[in-house]
């Protein structure tokens, strides 16, 4: 146990301890585990894609959200953005080595969601029936 001023200091945040509120890894977790971040990363798992292809593949994403998430994931080092000089410029996105490494466990998560979504919806309905507010 520390004494005096040492006792009041927090240990430096461990970048791998996402349970610590000061952990820098939380930002990465927010970007990767957001609905759009996960879907963008997985849609690029098999091949690079252009902006409009990503927009058309990921149902419900607005161009603004797609653009924001692409910038964020590129900044995080998970995506590579290649601009081909043309009019208009052709921009292609692909996974970096880091992004490819991450896409593997994310694919497992999406596989689980596909396999268990019906079970989760059933559980939600069962819960809602049992916890119906009194009228």
Per-residue pLDDT tens digits for 34-74: 999 999 999 999 999 999 999 999 999 999 999 999 999 99
Four-way CATH pick for 24-130: 3.30.457.10, 3.10.270.10, 3.30.200.20, 1.10.10.10: 1.10.10.10
Structure tokens at 41: 């990363």
pLDDT band of residue 4 (cuts 50, 70, 90) is very low
pLDDT of residue 7: 41
- Burial classification of residue 58, based on how many CB atoms lie within 10 Å of its CB (0-12 exposed, 13-18 middle, 19 or more buried): middle
Domain extents for the chain?
24-130
pLDDT of amino acid 11:
56
Degrees, nearest 5: CA angle 19-21-25: 70
Please tell me the pTM assigned to this model.
Answer: 0.81
The CA-based angle 108-17-25, given to 5 degrees, is 70
The CA-based diameter of the chain, rounded to the nearest angstrom, is: 65
């Amino acid at each position: 146990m520390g004494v005096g001023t040492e006792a009041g200091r927090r240990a430096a945040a461990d970048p791998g301890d996402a349970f610590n509120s000061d952990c820098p890894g939380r930002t990465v977790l927010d970007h990767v585990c957001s609905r759009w971040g996960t879907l963008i990363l997985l849609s690029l798992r098999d091949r690079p894609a252009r902006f409009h292809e990503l927009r058309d593949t990921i149902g419900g994403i607005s161009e603004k959200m797609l653009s924001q998430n692409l910038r964020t994931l590129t900044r995080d080092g998970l995506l590579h953005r290649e601009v081909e000089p043309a009019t208009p410029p052709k921009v292609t996105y692909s996974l970096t080595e880091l992004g490819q490494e991450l896409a593997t466990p994310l694919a497992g998560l999406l596989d689980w969601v596909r396999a268990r979504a019906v079970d989760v919806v059933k559980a939600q309905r069962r819960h809602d029936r049992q916890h119906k507010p009194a009228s």
